[in-house]
Structure 1
Amino acid sequence: MKLFKRNIFIKSLLLVLVVAFLGSCKKDDGGTGDIANASGKFSVKGTEYSGPCQAIPATSGVSGNLDAIIASSTGASFIVYNIPTGSSGTSNVVEIDSDVPFSSQLYAICTVNSGTIYSSTGGTVTKTGSNSYKFSVNMVDLTTNETVTVTGSGKY
């Protein structure tokens, strides 16, 4: 379990670094703004986090799907892997086990701080447009087995 937790943390950290890089880019529109008006928010145990939302081609799973991250300035992040690219529809989130991070299934990871990492156990992600989604994901703390429901939305 310790190795699995470390691998999940490393994968989510890499995606956060990619988002930080993308967030520092400027649109080629005469220099009027960031790469997009992309933002998101998520709530964990009554605390709401918000920040930029970015999507990149899926790092594992189905070619054409996306990995999307909402990264708060506090260091908290919510990542959904393998979001379909359509403009509507609801997808079920699966429970993470040792095989899921390398599959085409839709799953999520939430980090609140370096000691608290939640992994998905179920829930849904609903596309609300070609570049937007909302979610309600049941999650479990990988260290304490505490269960929470994380809700929110993002536009990338």
Structure 2
Amino acid sequence: MNSPQKQQLLNKEEFQKQLRQKQQKAAIDKQQALIKQKMAQIQAAQAAQAPVVAKKPSKAKWYFLALLALVAALLPYPKIITYEKLGVVAESIYIPSRFGSKAFLLDTNAEVQVDGQNRWLYLCNTLQGQRHCNRYDIVDTQGFFAAVGKYLEQ
């Protein structure tokens, strides 16, 4: 005799209980499979009946890019100015004036005036009510990306 038959003969109530549990589990699994199949059919039918909506491309991305371009056009572009006086050479990030703001160097509190034709840089300080200006020769100017690189390097 094999073991299930021995168990059936020895403990009939326990065997019947286990048999019922197996049958109930099989019935539940069968019901769940049917439910899943019907749900899949319903979802497929709904997807087939649903109208196809064409999504319009968002204009927000273009508005943001236009705003960014406008801000970039209006902001002053920094540049690096290398200037010299009496053999002493210095290099500073210069931000020109735009819309009434004053031009300035990032590393000084002095007023800045640049004469582009003669390549001169004037740095003026007001001490005790008197204005003192120093003229420097502009040796070299570098553009926006060099200024950003120098600023990030500091």
TM (norm. structure 1) is 0.20
- Identify the structure with the greater helix proportion: 2
User: Highest Rg: 1 or 2?
Assistant: 2
Q: Which has the bigger relative contact order, CA under 8 A and spacing at least 6? A: 1
TM (norm. structure 2) is 0.20
- Identify the structure with the greater strand proportion: 1
